[in-house]
Structure 1
Amino acid sequence: MNRWHPLLEHLQFTADMAERFANELDIHHVAYVTGLLHDLGKCHPDFQAYLENPKMKREVRDHSSAGAVYAYEQLSLLGQFVAWMVAGHHGGLADRVKLRNRLEDKVECPHVQKAIELAEQKLPEVFQELHKLPSELPPRWEHLLREPHAMEVWMRMLFSCLVDADYLDTEAHFSPEQTDWRASWQTSLEPLWEGFESHQQQFQQHALDTPLNRARSDVYQSCLRAAEGQTGIYQLNVPTGMGKTLSGMGFALKHALASQKKRVIVVVPYSSILDQNAKVYQNIFGEEVVLEHHSAMEMLDDKEQENRRKLATENWDAPIVVTTTVQFFESLFARRTSKLRKLHHIANSVVILDEVQMLPLELLEPIFSVMRELTLHYNVTFLLSTATPLALDLTISKSKAMLPSVTQVVQDAGRLFEEFRRVSFDLSPLEESWTWERTAEQMRQHEQVMVIVNRRKDAGELFSLLADEPHAYHLSASMCPAHRKKVLQELSERLRGGLPVWLVATQVVEAGVDLDFPVVMRASGPLDRIVQAAGRCNREGRLERGTMIVFRPEDGGLPRGNYQKMTATAENFLQRDPECLYRLETFENYFRRVYTNVETDARKVEEIRQSDEHHLNFEEIDKRFRMIDTDTATVLVPYEEGKALAEDVIGGMPLTRSWMRRAQLYTVSLHLNGKFYREQAANLEQIGEGWYIWNGQYDERKGLIAGLVYEPDYLSLC
């Protein structure tokens, strides 16, 4: 049995570690005091008895109120923030009014007052150190008192330093082998840059001397030159196929070394892209330094390797992290310790936002706002990587949500778009509407063709007209990740082998998926989605020009909300100027028009953050900032290992974190609306909060095929 962990030792070690984490943020004294006070309530004899007998009543477990009340009553102005951190170090950051009510209630609590008295008697060393807390904010942070949204980010960073230190000290005492495992991720960026530079030199030496490869080399050199610049916002805007994945990493590593940053974080919209990019990086740097963090990670067979990765995902203490937009941004607006623990490792980093045009427009104001704060005050550089540039040079609201000035990495990107047209656009079908029968007939005229539609329902109906053909394929989020991955591998092999392929897909294939078709057909949609679809056409440049057909489906629909507005704006652009897709400035003009027609703070997240009355409402902000609709179910389907996983739970196995990690590969996300329940409730068996087993039909080609999946496929996976 492990020896007891002395309380004074834990408080001191946690304080020291939190101070070290916060040192570069110039909030180290505040972090130090939060570490000293966070577990003060454990001095109470009732809590000591609870440690001996964990079955005691719940009230005695409250060990955070004592330190919070002491800071609230006895310390300086900054003590109010210390109290906030200490009170929430297990349950998360509370709303301002809730916290005040709790502390004022606990001030009168005899249990809390006794814990403070005993702590003063038994731990005088702690109270002697509290003088280190300054009486006011250092000059670097004076703007916090004027900008409530900035104060909110600062508090999350401080909280992150505390909770990570708390967990790590406890782990070091009770599970030292896990502390040793964490050390395996501790690699500086210098050797990674040297290895990467060597890889790139060898790659370019062996590349054929073609115009495309010369252009890729020029893009890479532009990235290296831009990397010498100051911390800020950069945009890498080049056509699909120009090597953004590796050029962007070159920028990130060199810039991190030049500006003393500690890690590179790559953020992508879909787990399919993440898996693809992570493998590229792992082949160069090795699996031991590239951390993948997303819900659909495959469990590693090596238990020690899996444990190391699990530990690293808790706080992102790795030199290269590859994650999703959902994980990254929801953490920045979260209140729970599990999500906030990693935040202090986002500071002093380079963040590559891949396919940045996929950021949800309804949350763009709070996203831009927090990016601005991270850049201006936490030494974070963002590289916005895209083939369809946003209009980033304008204020999108009356708030301070606009980004700082954006530096273009490639100065002559327009020339690249002109010189390396790999597709010819055929927009004539927009003048009329096509039935699915006509769309299928058009597909039959080509050996290899992909059609991308806007909804899963549409994909299912079109595929039904082709399903008798063995070389017809379906790809949508009606299929679980393991199923989609298997189909993508088969498609890639057939395309490389020159075999016939007719693919019907949704937006899951548009951003970054490595498919190369000579002909792509795209249902009318937002302009950036059309261009992304074109990126799957003649991707490798084997043809002089691929063919990209944009059509209006007669029977197809559009997801509601911003998607419909963006599609209408796109059609307006295409009708007025059919040649506009060949010009780079089209997309900036398009997004300027989009911003005026959509609500970029639809959930009032930024309005709350900037309000004098409602700011620091962490619970409300956490609830409102959701990149994936919370009204969804995670449905385990009977595909391959999914069958056995379902049987395990039906047989009585609990829903452990490990089980859910493994099961994610065999799940489909579905909206929980009234029609869904009325039509398909008999096929769903709830096994936990938000988790269901699908007892209906799961098709080997179409996935979950019941007529219930009406939602779009453009949402990211967490």
Structure 2
Amino acid sequence: MDEHMKGTYFQARRFSHTFDRYGITAIAAIAHDLGKKSGAFVQYLKADKKIRGSVQHAIGGAIALHDIMQRGVQDERMIMAAAIVAGHHTGMPDLNTVFDEKIPDAPQYLKTIPDLSQTEMQIIKDILKRFPGLPLGGKSDSKSPFAYKEMLMRMCFSALVDADFLDTERYFDYGKSIKRQGKAFSIHQLDEQLQNYMLELRMKGKDKEINRYRNEVYTACREAAKQPLFFRALVVPTGLGKTLASIAFALEQAKRFNKKRVIVALPFVNIIDQTAQKYQEVFGKASVLEQHSQLSYTDDKDEAMERARLAAENWDSFPIIVTTTVELFESLFSNRTSKVRKLHRLANSVIILDEFQKLPIHVLAPIFQALHLLMEHFNVTVVLCSATPLSFENAKLIGNMGTPIEICKNRNQLFASMKRVEYIRVEKPLTVSELVARMKEHPAALCILNTREDAFRVYREAIHQKLNGQYIYHLSNRMCPHHRKKVIEQIKEDLKNEKSILVIATSLVEAGVDFDFPAVFRAMAPLDSIVQAAGRSNREGKLEKGAVFIFELIGGGMPGGMYRKGTEQTRILLDHYSTAALHDPWIFEKYFRSLYSFGADDLLDSYGITNLKPFSFETADRLFQMIDQNTVSILCKNYQGEDGQIERLIRMYKEAPYLTKEWYREAQLFAVNEYVDSRFLKENQNQLEKVSEGWYIWHGGYDMKTGIMDMDEKGD
């Protein structure tokens, strides 16, 4: 125990020293396992048969800290450390329950802990004297005077939990511990690699106008990063190299202002692959960790893969992390050890929020309050990236963070210069048949619909009308990720070879999928979705102008909520200003201003997170949801993608005593997601086998062009 306490203490201090100047993490590290001194725990260790968790110990350390407080040491740091210790196995509790419920209700055998821990309690008293006390008034610029202390507790809790895990792992599995130590390059080395890569790119590149604009954006990012401004916006048109320019800003900023890592968060799983692959191409796999729900680390014999799997637990040893906004923000508001363990790695980092306008409106207020605290107190730089020409004059867009300083001062001129498409609004609503006929007038065309049902209807009609030898592709979330990825790669290959193709898709292709079609058809949608869709046309500037047709589909579906409201606002604006306004940034200010005027004051905080009683960690975890509709995952048994892989997963499900995180992660590659209240789930129960809460196996058909079909649907 002494050795473990010291090991945990030194690691926790190393993790937290830049943000915890008050000794909270140190106190928690000394106290976290004092409950193991109880006679009951000693008997448990000696027992032949041990039932894990049968003897409590975590609350024992909190009891010892409470005893010090009762003996006259009234210090806020002790209260915070007690809550951290009480939750270091089961999750950080609401602060009031620690002293009102957990300590009073603790087993009698833990009440002796203070008498057994006199040495450690004296060390804790010395720590209180050695470190400065917390500032009065909360040290917070946010609405709540407790917000900073809440975030500080989360970060200290993260540092303790990670140190505890790592020290325990080092003792029980030293080989696994060694595998965590990778060969990633330093921030300075990574920046040198990027500069060499960009130099080579310029030497190979042709002297085209688009390349000059890309170089202009890249240079602006380099220069802006030299200034000590930690809230930035990079808003530039699609196709101007935002992925590399933003990482150039991040690395330059990290070099100059002591940042340890870069975290790139994207809104959709399906666009992470492309971003991560680009960074791995530049920096090597040893320096870039890709983490999301649909990535599986299955080859445990591969040392790099094993290190990535371990690093996904706590984001250690990789200087560049590519993840989802869901993973990032649900971790920030979680109280669970498995999620929170990585949080302290956010301190001293650059966070790039790509396509940030896609952040869900119903949780914007708590998200931006958290980011504000990270910038103010934890040496974090936040970069908001978008290809939508947003105006930051509307305060609701960025909550209480203040206005970000834009990296490209001439971004309006960039948007004006990059008019690579002509927007054409189709005057009258189209039938499915008329839409397909119009698409077939073009050698290659992409059509984006608002729902999977519409995409399937249009695809079937396109097959029915097949003309001119065009190959027809379908892309939607009815196809599992493994399938979609293969189809996207094939489409890119066909476009490269200038084949005649039609692609009928849902909005999943709008961001991060580098298609370049001469013509794009977009069903009426929110304004930013239309502009994103336009980014799939004439992307490389090969044509004088690409064509983007905005149409209404007779009988077309529409997602509800803010998507429907955004579409209504877009229709009103286009009726009033015409499609020519889509090239002007001011239209987006009008759009977002009108969009955020919907609803009551709680529009940006639907769950009331910012108004919770202070230190309500367990409650915040329960309430905070990035995705406001529950979904289930459905493993596609009859998908013919990989020999034996799905059969192996099903065999493991049948034979294994329990399913691991790795099983779920690998299975996600071959699963589709459905809303819990969907018609599909209700009408196909006889084809669905429940695996666990939120997981099913689909025994019905899987079409290798369109994915899962309803019972009455047939893929052609």
Whether these two folds match at TM > 0.5 is yes
Alignment equivalent of 1:25, drawn from 13, 16, 19:
19
* SS in structure 2 at match of 1:451: strand
Structure 1 residues 566 and 509 mapped into 2: Cα distance closer, same or farther (>3 Å)?
A: same
536-545 or 387-396, which moves further after superposition?
Answer: 387-396
Paired letter, 2:322: V
Query: How far 1:221 moved relative to its partner?
Result: 0.6
Q: 1:661 — aligned with what?
A: 665
Paired letter, 2:583: Y
Structure 1 residues 647 and 394 mapped into 2: Cα distance closer, same or farther (>3 Å)?
A: closer
Matched, 1:127 2:126: no
Partners of 1:78 and 1:135 within 8 A in 2: no
Query: How many angstroms apart in 2 are the aligned matches of 1:125 and 1:386?
Result: 52
Matched, 1:704 2:702: no
Matched, 1:691 2:695: yes
Query: How far 1:305 moved relative to its partner?
Result: 2.1
Matched, 1:74 2:78: no
Query: How far 1:176 moved relative to its partner?
Result: 1.9
Structure 1 residues 608 and 267 mapped into 2: Cα distance closer, same or farther (>3 Å)?
A: closer
Alignment of 1:181-580 (within 5 A): 181-184=179-182, 187-299=185-297, 301=299, 302-317=301-316, 318-396=318-396, 401-427=399-425, 429=426, 431-468=427-464, 469=466, 471-578=471-578, 579-580=580-581
TM-score (norm 2): 0.92
Structure 1 residues 449 and 192 mapped into 2: Cα distance closer, same or farther (>3 Å)?
A: same
Paired letter, 1:524: M
Partners of 2:297 and 2:306 within 8 A in 1: no
Query: How many angstroms apart in 2 are the aligned matches of 1:287 and 1:135?
Result: 42
Query: How many angstroms apart in 2 are the aligned matches of 1:169 and 1:391?
Result: 48
* SS in structure 2 at match of 1:242: coil
Query: How far 1:149 moved relative to its partner?
Result: 2.8
Query: How many angstroms apart in 2 are the aligned matches of 1:630 and 1:148?
Result: 30
Q: 2:618 — aligned with what?
A: 619
Structure 1 residues 467 and 126 mapped into 2: Cα distance closer, same or farther (>3 Å)?
A: farther
Query: How many angstroms apart in 2 are the aligned matches of 1:42 and 1:708?
Result: 61
Query: How far 1:117 moved relative to its partner?
Result: 2.4
* SS in structure 2 at match of 1:597: coil
333-342 or 647-656, which moves further after superposition?
Answer: 647-656
Aligned pair count reads: 693
Matched, 1:8 2:2: yes
TM-score (norm 1): 0.92
Paired letter, 2:591: Y
Paired letter, 2:179: W
Query: How many angstroms apart in 2 are the aligned matches of 1:525 and 1:82?
Result: 49
Query: How far 1:432 moved relative to its partner?
Result: 2.4
Paired letter, 2:452: R
Query: How far 1:150 moved relative to its partner?
Result: 2.8
Q: Deviations over 1:358-417 (max 9, x none)?
A: 1111111111111111111111111111111444334329xx932223111111111111
* SS in structure 2 at match of 1:521: strand
Query: How many angstroms apart in 1 are the aligned matches of 2:624 and 2:206?
Result: 47
* SS in structure 1 at match of 2:529: helix
Query: How many angstroms apart in 2 are the aligned matches of 1:450 and 1:707?
Result: 28
Q: 2:651 — aligned with what?
A: 648
Q: 1:634 — aligned with what?
A: 633
Alignment equivalent of 1:672, drawn from 660, 676, 681:
676
Query: How many angstroms apart in 2 are the aligned matches of 1:347 and 1:707?
Result: 50
Query: How many angstroms apart in 1 are the aligned matches of 2:170 and 2:54?
Result: 26
Structure 1 residues 707 and 227 mapped into 2: Cα distance closer, same or farther (>3 Å)?
A: farther
Structure 1 residues 707 and 609 mapped into 2: Cα distance closer, same or farther (>3 Å)?
A: farther
Query: How many angstroms apart in 2 are the aligned matches of 1:129 and 1:152?
Result: 22
Query: How far 1:619 moved relative to its partner?
Result: 2.1
Query: How many angstroms apart in 2 are the aligned matches of 1:566 and 1:185?
Result: 46
Query: How many angstroms apart in 2 are the aligned matches of 1:270 and 1:143?
Result: 32
Paired letter, 2:672: V
Query: How many angstroms apart in 1 are the aligned matches of 2:296 and 2:5?
Result: 37
Query: How many angstroms apart in 2 are the aligned matches of 1:365 and 1:650?
Result: 40
124-133 or 168-177, which moves further after superposition?
Answer: 124-133
* SS in structure 2 at match of 1:665: helix
Partners of 2:523 and 2:552 within 8 A in 1: yes
Q: Deviations over 1:468-498 (max 9, x none)?
A: 5471111011111000001001111111111
Q: Deviations over 1:162-196 (max 9, x none)?
A: 10111111112222222322221554201111111
Structure 1 residues 289 and 601 mapped into 2: Cα distance closer, same or farther (>3 Å)?
A: farther
Query: How many angstroms apart in 2 are the aligned matches of 1:9 and 1:667?
Result: 45
